[in-house]
């Protein structure tokens, strides 16, 4: 196969990764490309370069989900948060819901490495979780006397936890006359789930507890390989989190000895 064919194959593989509902088990062509990626380092490099051309990164190639791509700040292919939540006042609460869903699906760091992990979470559970945590912060601040209301002309200084508590869990809040009613927090959590579902990261299993969802493998990979790290870096930039300084323990690297002995089996 010549270089031009390789380029076509690599672009096709990136195309598969961008399409919804495509998986190596569903398409012989995709399975062939995944195999090429695994066994031909040169081809893998071409795929990485094609992704780079779109300002995307190759996070990994997984036998079930195929090629997993990550976004860079420059890319035109990332979702726009303002498209997901047009209302600016809803945005932080919606984004908090997204993070809480992830935190509840993967309660322990090792869950992110578990190949068989399936999360099952409902809208009500997510909403309750944020409220419990926010209420804990409220009690702690009240106890230490730090709880101060934000200045009325600088509402952006209000704590995220308080903004969430202030919103009703259900129903629509009528604010001052003439203004749009605010979405309830459960409606925002629900919207977060709906977006996860439409992007192929979860599926709804029942209407119980305002909607119960199970997560797919791709959701785990996207969080493990990129989202958690990206957010941690942002927090570190704000000075509220410390990045791990040592060379990130991560999964065990194959030691050279292992490689030799496994190799020896078939030599």
Residues 233-252 touching another protein, rule: CB under 8 A, are 233-235, 237-238, 240-241, 243-244, 248-251
Question: Among 27, 21, 61, which Cα is nearest to 44's?
Answer: 61
3-state secondary structure of 86: coil
Range 128-157, binding another protein (CB under 8 A): 130, 133-134, 137, 150, 155-157
Question: Among 2, 54, 59, 10, which Cα is nearest to 34's?
Answer: 10
Smallest distance from the beta carbon of 115 to another protein, in angstroms?
A: 6
Answer yes or no whether residue 75 interacts with another protein by CB under 8 A: yes
Answer yes or no whether residue 184 interacts with another protein by CB under 8 A: no
Range 186-205, binding another protein (CB under 8 A): 195-196, 199, 201, 203, 205
Answer yes or no whether residue 18 interacts with another protein by CB under 8 A: yes
Range 54-73, binding another protein (CB under 8 A): 54, 56, 59-60, 62-65, 68-71
Range 215-234, binding another protein (CB under 8 A): 215-219, 222-234
Q: Name the token pair of 89.
A: 């006042």
Smallest distance from the beta carbon of 64 to another protein, in angstroms?
A: 4
Range 80-109, binding another protein (CB under 8 A): 81, 84, 86-87, 91-92, 95-96, 98-100, 102-103, 106-109
Q: CA-CA distance, 15 to 176, in Å (whole number)?
A: 48
Q: Name the token pair of 145.
A: 């006397």
Answer yes or no whether residue 126 interacts with another protein by CB under 8 A: no
β-pair partners for 69: 58
Q: CA-CA distance, 93 to 88, in Å (whole number)?
A: 10
Residue from 42, 115, 153, 257 binding another protein (CB under 8 A): 115
Answer yes or no whether residue 23 interacts with another protein by CB under 8 A: yes
b/e map of 195-228 (b: 16 or more CB within 10 Å)? bbeeebbbeeeeeeebbbbebbbbbbbbbbbbbb
Residue from 123, 126, 183, 188 binding another protein (CB under 8 A): 183
CB nearer another protein, residue 7 or residue 57: 57
Q: Are 1 and 7 in contact (CB under 8 A)?
A: no
How many of the other CB atoms lie within 10 Å of CB of 266?
5
Q: Residues 6 or more apart from 161 whose CB is under 8 A from it?
A: 133, 134, 137, 138
Give whole-number Cα distances, 141 to 133, 136, 156, 164, 166, in Å.
Answer: 13, 9, 19, 16, 16
CB nearer another protein, residue 33 or residue 183: 183
CB nearer another protein, residue 12 or residue 195: 195
Smallest distance from the beta carbon of 124 to another protein, in angstroms?
A: 13
Smallest distance from the beta carbon of 1 to another protein, in angstroms?
A: 18
Answer yes or no whether residue 76 interacts with another protein by CB under 8 A: yes
Smallest distance from the beta carbon of 120 to another protein, in angstroms?
A: 6
CB nearer another protein, residue 62 or residue 186: 62
Question: Among 107, 100, 102, 104, which Cα is nearest to 134's?
Answer: 100
């Amino acid at each position: 196969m010549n270089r031009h064919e390789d380029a076509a194959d690599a672009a096709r593989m990136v195309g598969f990764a961008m399409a919804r509902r495509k998986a190596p088990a569903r398409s012989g062509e995709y399975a062939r490309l995944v195999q090429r990626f695994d066994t031909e380092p040169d081809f893998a490099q071409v795929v990485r370069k094609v992704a780079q051309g779109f300002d995307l990164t190759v996070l990994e190639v997984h036998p079930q989900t195929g090629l997993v791509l990550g976004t860079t700040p420059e890319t035109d292919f990332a979702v726009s948060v303002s498209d997901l939540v047009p209302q600016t006042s809803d945005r932080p609460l919606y984004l908090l819901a997204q993070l809480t869903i992830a935190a509840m699906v993967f309660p322990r760091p090792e869950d992110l490495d578990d190949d068989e992990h399936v999360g099952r979470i409902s809208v009500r559970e997510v909403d309750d979780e944020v409220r419990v945590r926010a209420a804990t912060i409220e009690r702690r601040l009240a106890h230490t006397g730090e709880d101060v209301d934000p200045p009325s002309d600088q509402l952006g200084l209000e704590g995220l936890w308080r903004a969430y508590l202030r919103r009703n869990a259900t129903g629509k809040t009528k604010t001052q006359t003439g203004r749009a009613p605010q979405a309830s927090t459960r409606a925002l959590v629900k919207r977060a789930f709906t977006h996860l579902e439409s992007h192929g990261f979860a599926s709804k299993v029942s209407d119980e507890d305002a909607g119960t969802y199970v997560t797919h493998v791709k959701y785990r990979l996207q969080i493990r390989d990129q989202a958690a790290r990206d957010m941690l870096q942002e927090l570190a930039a704000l000075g509220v989190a410390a990045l791990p300084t040592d060379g990130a323990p991560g999964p065990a690297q194959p030691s050279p000895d292992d490689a030799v002995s496994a190799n020896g089996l078939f030599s």
